[in-house]
Amino acid sequence: MSDAYLDISKFLIVTRIQDGQSYKAIFPDDDDKSFQRCMQELKDGTFKAALENAVDSYYLACRVAEQSGSQIHDYEDRKIGVFRLPSYADVRYGIHLKQTNEYGVYSFFVHDDGKVSSRYARSDATFENETGLYR
């Protein structure tokens, strides 16, 4: 997608130079905002998938530990670290994606009727600052 955007930009620049209008913006502000939003959605989608895989690995490690008669609270391997975070109402995990050195938070809440609400967010290394992901 970014290659196509770059090709279109080059074409528009050459066209504007030939028409003597090189001083004008290549894309209107609305187009740039849409492009930035789309790129963030793609990044967030990839990031969320990595967080989901990390949580799956954590739950698998928990099941294996439980079957062998032990428990784990935190999980770490060469690619990820998943750590239980303190919380009052929901269950929260801090996730470190080691290969990209990114941090995220996975949280879920089980309602009285059994419905589960979950959320993924970007974070920093302290897991105190969260930014929601595009859906």
**CA 65 to mean position of chain CA atoms:** 28
End-to-end, the C-alpha distance of the chain in Å comes to 19
- Give the mean pLDDT of 32-50: 87
**108 contacts 90 by C-beta, under 8 angstroms:** yes
Domain ranges of the chain: 2-132
pLDDT tens digits, one per residue of 50-81 = 999 999 999 999 999 999 999 898 999 999 99
pLDDT at 29 over 70: no
The edge-to-edge listing of strands for the beta sheet with 75-76 is 75-76, 80-85, 91-97, 102-110, 116-123, 130-132
d(CA 124, CA 103): 6
| Res 3: pLDDT | 76
| Res 4: pLDDT | 77
d(CA 40, CA 129): 18
| Res 50: pLDDT | 96
pTM: 0.76
69: left (phi over 0), alpha (psi -120 to 50) or beta: left
d(CA 2, CA 38): 10
- Give the mean pLDDT of 76-104: 95
| Res 23: pLDDT | 59
